[in-house]
Structure 1
Amino acid sequence: MRVLVQKFGGTSVSSAERRAQVAAKISEAVREGYSPVVVVSAIGRSGDPYATDTFINMVKGIAVESPKREMDLLMSCGEIISGVVLTSTLKDLGLDAVLLTGGQAGIITNNCFGDARIIRVEPKNILNHLEAGRIVVVAGFQGVTEDGQITTLGRGGSDTTAAALGVALDAEDIDIYTDVEGIMTADPRIVEDARILDVVTYNEICHLAHQGAKVIHPRAVEIAMQRNIPIRIKCTFSDAPGTLVTCLQPDMGVGTDITGDRTTTGIAYTPNVTQIQVPTVDIPDQLQANKQIFKGMALADISVDFISVQPEGVLFTVPDDLAEKAVKILENLGFNPSSVPGCAKVSVVGAGIAGVPGVMADLVHALSDAGVRILQSADSHTTIWVLVNKEDMILAVQALHKKFLLGT
C-alpha cells in the first residue's frame, strides 16, 4: 500500500470552489495509485465563523482566562467541522471517505493542554480504513491523552499531525498544501525578486521556519526528518511542483560533488522584539547572577531568545509585549536592566554556511552599505542572526537578499 499524506490549510477549504480543487488533488492521488490520508485545518482565518481564532475570541468576551482543558475542547471543533465538510464533498463525488478525529486516528499526546506534544501514534484504525479502500480524512491540530482527554497541538498543529501520521504510516510523501506555490528565498511582500526554492534540506527549512518563515511549522519538519519522509510544499490552486524538503543537500551532484554550490538559501525575519541588557560587570558573583536572570525569566514563563552571556553582562531578546514584565522582574531581583524596544531579528539561513569564510564579511558589508546598524549578532552552522532596529528590517532583508544573489 502506497500511503500519501496530504495536508490542506484553512484557506484551501474555505469555500465550495476551493474544496472542489482540494477534492481534485485527492482524486488525482487515488488515480496515481496512492492511499490518501488527508489532514485538514479549520476553515478560514480569524473572523471567519469556524476559524480557531474566532472560537477563542468568543470565550474571551466572557472570561479573561478560561480553563485550558475546556479551551482545547472548543478549539478542536474547527478541524472537525472542516473534516465533516470535506468528507461530505468527497462522498458527493462518489469517493469513499471517512472522517477521524485526532484521537480516533490514534494520536496520543501528553496532557499539556493548548500546546500538547505527541507521544506516539497508533495507526491501526487508519490502516483498517485504508485497506478497505477508503480515503481517510483526519482532523488536524488535535489528539487525546492516555485517559481520553482532548488536546490541541499548538499553532501549526495540523502540520505536526500530517508529519506524525506520515512517519507512523511510513508514507511515501507528505504534501503540505497552502495558498503559496512553495518556500521562497524571502518574503515576496518586501523582496520583489524573491523566488521559489526547488529543494531545501530539513535543517534549512527548520531554521527558516523558526526565524519567521510561516509556510510550515518547524516541529512538523523535525518529526518527518526522523524517518527521512520527503515533504513537498505545494499550492492547492495550481499545478506548480512546489518545494521539496529532503535530507539531501541542494545542488548535490552525482559522483564527485561533495558540497552544494549554494551557500545561503533564504532570508527570514522576526519583528517586534525587545533587546534586554543586564549589566553584571560590577556584581561579585557573576555566575550566580546569570543563574538568577534566566531562572527569573523561566519562572515567569518568558521565553528568551538571541542570548549572549559576556563578562560585561547578559543580552537577550523577548517579544515586545513581554518586555515591561521582564524588566520589572529583573529590577525586583536587584538588577539594573535597560531595554531597546522595537527591534527585529533578521536571519541568513543556508546549509552551506558552515566552514565557508567570508559569509559574515559579506553580511556586514551589505548592511553597512545599506546604512543598517547591527545591534547584536550570533551564528550557528546553518544560520547567522543579526538584531536591527525594526525600522531597518525591510531594508536589511532586501540588502541581504541582493548581496547573496538569492533572486538569481
Structure 2
Amino acid sequence: MPNIVVQKFGGSSVATDERREQVIDKIINAINQGYKPVIVVSAIGREGAPYATDTLINFAQGVYDTIEPRAKDLLMSCGEIISTVIIAQALRARGYEAEPLTGAQAGIITDENFGDTRIKEINARRILDILDYNQIPIIAGFQGVSENGEITTLGRGGSDTTACALGAALHAEMVEIYTDVEGVMTADPRIVPNAKTLKHVTYNEVCELAYQGARVIHPRAAEIAMRERVPVIVRSTFSDAQGTVISDVFKQEEVEIKGDRPVSGVTSRSNLSFVKVFPKDHEGPSTLLESTSVLGCFRILAEGNISVDFINVRPEVITFMINKDTVEKACGLLDESNYQYEVFNDFVKISVVGAGMTGVPGIMAKVVEALTEAGISIYQTTDSHTTISCLIRDEDEESGLCALHDYFGLGD
C-alpha cells in the first residue's frame, strides 16, 4: 500500500483561480514529500457563486419551490463534480496527470436516505488503480451512490465525511482538511477576536466541538476519524501554518504546559429551537411521568426522524431542543397527538469543551460564574465528561462566548 494522504479542500479554497493555484501547490508539496495524494473537493464558492450548491438549489426552486428529495440530491451533486474537473485541469496545466471522479465512480456506496445518507462501504479499487498509474484521483465530496444506482448526498459538510471515510478505507497516513482558518480554534475568531489555534485536540474533543457548533470539521467526519483512528490535520489552504492535529497520541514536547487547563474551546449553536411540552390531559393523571406522555412524545418524534437534544424531564413539563429546520414537522406530529406545547426561537446553546474537565470539580461553578458576571441568565444546563452546555438568550451569544473564553484563559 503506497503512502497515501487524503487532502480535502473546501468551497472557499477552490473559489477563484488564485486560490485554486494554492490548492495545487499543497498537492504538489505532498507529492514532493513522498505521498500519493487522494483529493476530495467541495463545490466552488458559497451561495451566490454560480456553481455553489445553494445557488443551484435556489435556481431550481425559482422554477418550482418544492424539490423531490431524490431530484434534490441529483442536483446537489453537480457542484462538487464541477470542482473535480476544474482541479484536474489545473493539475494538468502544471504537468500532473489527474483523474476526476464522482462519488459513485470512487466506489462510495450509501443508503437511500436522500439528503443525509450514510456511507455503507467503499470499494476503493478504482482509486488504487489510478494511484498505481501515478495519477492523482480527484473525488467529488459530499456524495455517493446507493446500491440501486441512485445518486445520494451525505448532508451539509459531507465532504469532510468523504475525506475521513476514504482515509479509513485506503489506510491513509493521514487526512488533511484544508479550510480558510489555520486549524481548530478555541472559539470562532469572527466572534472572539483573541481566539487561538490549538496545536492538538483529541478525537473526543473535536467531536464534541463539532456537535456543539464549531464548523471547522463535520461531526460525522470526526466520528469516523475517531472510530477508525485516522489521524486528521486541519490546516489553512492560504498559509504554511502547522494547523491542528486531531488524534489520541501526540508528542509530549509539543504540548504547552500552562497548569491544568480543563477547557480546550468554547462554541455555540444558534440553529436550534427550544420546545416545551405540557401534560396532555389535565383531568387525568396529574403528571407527565404518570400519564406516559414522556414516552409518547419522544417516540413520535423519533418515528418522524427528528433528533432531540438538551432534554429535561420534570413532572410538569418536558423541554428539549431540535434543529430549526425540523420545527414545522415536529409541530405537526405533536398536533396530531394532541400535545400542548410552546416553541421558542430566541435561545442558543453555548458550550465549553475539554477532555481535561473529566473528574475535575468546580468547572460548572466557573461556567456559571463567568456568565453571571457578564450579566447573562442561564435557563437550562447539561453536561457530560467533556462538555458543559448552557441555554441562554440569543442576544447574549457573543458576550457569552467571550466571557467564557476569557474566564478560562483560552486566549492567553
Instruction: Specify the TM-score bucket, using the shorter chain as the normaliser.
Output: over 0.9
In the alignment, is residue 29 of structure 1 matched against residue 30 of structure 2? yes
The equivalent of 2:206 in structure 1 is 205
The equivalent of 1:349 in structure 2 is 353
Cα distance in structure 1, aligned partners of 2:56 and 2:325: 23
Q: 1:330: Cα distance to partner? A: 3.7
TM-superposition CA deviations, 1:245-272 (whole Å, max 9, x none): 1123x78679xx9xx9331110000125
Cα distance in structure 2, aligned partners of 1:108 and 1:121: 6
Q: 1:146: Cα distance to partner? A: 1.4
Q: 1:95: Cα distance to partner? A: 0.6
8 Å CA contact 2:99–2:138 kept in 1: the answer is: yes
Q: 1:323: Cα distance to partner? A: 4.8
8 Å CA contact 1:199–1:244 kept in 2: the answer is: yes
Cα distance in structure 1, aligned partners of 2:151 and 2:303: 27
In the alignment, is residue 381 of structure 1 matched against residue 385 of structure 2? yes
TM-superposition CA deviations, 1:50-99 (whole Å, max 9, x none): 01111111111122222222221211111111110100110111111111
Q: 1:22: Cα distance to partner? A: 0.6
Letter in 2 for 1:291: L
| Distance change >3 Å, CA 324–CA 54, structure 1 → 2 | closer
Letter in 2 for 1:357: P
Moved more, 59-68 or 100-109: 59-68
Moved more, 28-37 or 314-323: 314-323
The equivalent of 1:127 in structure 2 is 128
8 Å CA contact 1:327–1:338 kept in 2: the answer is: no
| Distance change >3 Å, CA 111–CA 20, structure 1 → 2 | same
Q: Output the TM-score relative to the length of structure 2.
A: 0.92
Q: Please, which of 356, 359, 364 is the counterpart of residue 360 of structure 1? A: 364
8 Å CA contact 1:173–1:230 kept in 2: the answer is: yes
Cα distance in structure 1, aligned partners of 2:345 and 2:149: 44
Letter in 2 for 1:271: S
TM-superposition CA deviations, 1:279-311 (whole Å, max 9, x none): 448237635211221233334554322111223
- Superposed counterparts of 1:67-146, under 5 Å: 67-146=68-147
- Superposed counterparts of 1:318-337, under 5 Å: 318-320=322-324, 323=327, 326=330, 329-330=333-334, 333-337=337-341
Cα distance in structure 2, aligned partners of 1:283 and 1:329: 21
Cα distance in structure 2, aligned partners of 1:74 and 1:339: 33
8 Å CA contact 1:272–1:390 kept in 2: the answer is: no
8 Å CA contact 2:184–2:198 kept in 1: the answer is: yes
8 Å CA contact 1:320–1:342 kept in 2: the answer is: no
The equivalent of 1:52 in structure 2 is 53
- Superposed counterparts of 1:4-403, under 5 Å: 4-248=5-249, 261-280=260-279, 282-283=286-287, 286=290, 288-320=292-324, 323=327, 326=330, 329-330=333-334, 333-403=337-407
Cα distance in structure 2, aligned partners of 1:400 and 1:284: 35
TM-superposition CA deviations, 1:145-175 (whole Å, max 9, x none): 1132211111111111100110011000100
TM-superposition CA deviations, 1:104-156 (whole Å, max 9, x none): 11111111111111001111111111111111111111111113221111111
| Distance change >3 Å, CA 220–CA 356, structure 1 → 2 | same
Cα distance in structure 2, aligned partners of 1:154 and 1:191: 28
Cα distance in structure 1, aligned partners of 2:86 and 2:147: 28
Q: 1:332: Cα distance to partner? A: 5.2
TM-superposition CA deviations, 1:192-215 (whole Å, max 9, x none): 211111100111111111111101
Q: 1:103: Cα distance to partner? A: 1.0
Cα distance in structure 1, aligned partners of 2:85 and 2:332: 48
Cα distance in structure 1, aligned partners of 2:251 and 2:382: 27
8 Å CA contact 2:288–2:316 kept in 1: the answer is: no
Cα distance in structure 1, aligned partners of 2:269 and 2:4: 36
Q: 1:190: Cα distance to partner? A: 1.7
| Distance change >3 Å, CA 311–CA 224, structure 1 → 2 | same
Cα distance in structure 1, aligned partners of 2:43 and 2:153: 12
| Distance change >3 Å, CA 283–CA 245, structure 1 → 2 | same
8 Å CA contact 1:251–1:261 kept in 2: the answer is: no
Equivalent pairs counted in the alignment come to 403
The equivalent of 1:405 in structure 2 is 409
Letter in 1 for 2:123: E
Unaligned runs of 5+ in 1: none
| Distance change >3 Å, CA 376–CA 123, structure 1 → 2 | same
Cα distance in structure 2, aligned partners of 1:395 and 1:192: 12
Cα distance in structure 2, aligned partners of 1:304 and 1:387: 14
| Distance change >3 Å, CA 60–CA 200, structure 1 → 2 | same
Cα distance in structure 1, aligned partners of 2:202 and 2:181: 19
Cα distance in structure 1, aligned partners of 2:332 and 2:100: 49
8 Å CA contact 2:289–2:315 kept in 1: the answer is: no
8 Å CA contact 2:5–2:38 kept in 1: the answer is: yes
Moved more, 314-323 or 115-124: 314-323
Cα distance in structure 2, aligned partners of 1:353 and 1:307: 22
Letter in 2 for 1:366: A
Cα distance in structure 2, aligned partners of 1:129 and 1:49: 30
